[in-house]
A = this chain, B = another copy of it.
Amino acid sequence: MVALTTKGRATRQRIIEGAAAYLRADEPAGVTLDDIRAITGTSKSQIFHYFPDGKEELFLAVARHEADRVLDDQQPHLGALTSWPAWERWRDSVVARYRAQGRHCPLGALMAQVGSTPGAREVTSALLNQWQAHIRKGICDMQAAGLIRAGLDADRVAAAFIAGIQGGVLVLMSTGSVTHLEAAVDTLVDHLRG
């Protein structure tokens, strides 16, 4: 990325947020750079100044923005899983977020559009790694406080949460129901409680 001034960073961010809002409203397959340029009120040269590689680079930046939102939407709960009520509030925030999102996953739709490039894989793996690290830290904090048995493998159970949430959301996108998402998170929290 080019080095940007404060104003440049703000413009770049404005383009990303405008594009994200636009792409959220529909399937991104048919969206062109000209559409993005029009709705964000930027010129072609501005777009290529901030995203020299064009559409793929802009879409990846939007994907990164959406990935950040996935974690932001779970805060402050995800960052402070230090009591059972905190775990329940986090559980509720995850279920509520995906119930509201329903069948259309903005990040998934973007990823399908960008394709399986190294950049796209990096956005996905960074999101999953950060998410899992938050959950693992929550389990370790609870273990340190004597609230979860010490023998439990925090990293493995955190990975199971990631798999269960991803699969629950996948089933939700197919069936429209949060049943599997709730079953996965609730069963794993039960497992933590022992």
Which A residues are within 8 Å of any B CB, using their own CB?
103, 112, 116, 121, 124-125, 128, 156-157, 159-160, 162-171, 174-175, 179-181, 183-184, 186-188, 190-191
Contacts and interface: CB of A to CB of B under 8 A. Distances in A.
Given A112-B112, A157-B183, A162-B171, 7 more contacts: A128-B174, A159-B180, A160-B187, A163-B164, A163-B165, A170-B170, A191-B191
A169 B7 CA distance: 43
Interface of A is mostly: helix
Cβ-closest 8 pairs across A and B: A167-B167, A166-B167, A159-B183, A163-B167, A163-B184, A160-B187, A163-B168, A163-B180
B125 A187 contact: no
Number of copies: 2
B159 A166 contact: no
Contacts of A184: 159-160, 163-164, 167
Nearest to A168: B163
A171 B191 CA distance: 22
Contact of A171 (B112, B163, B171): B163
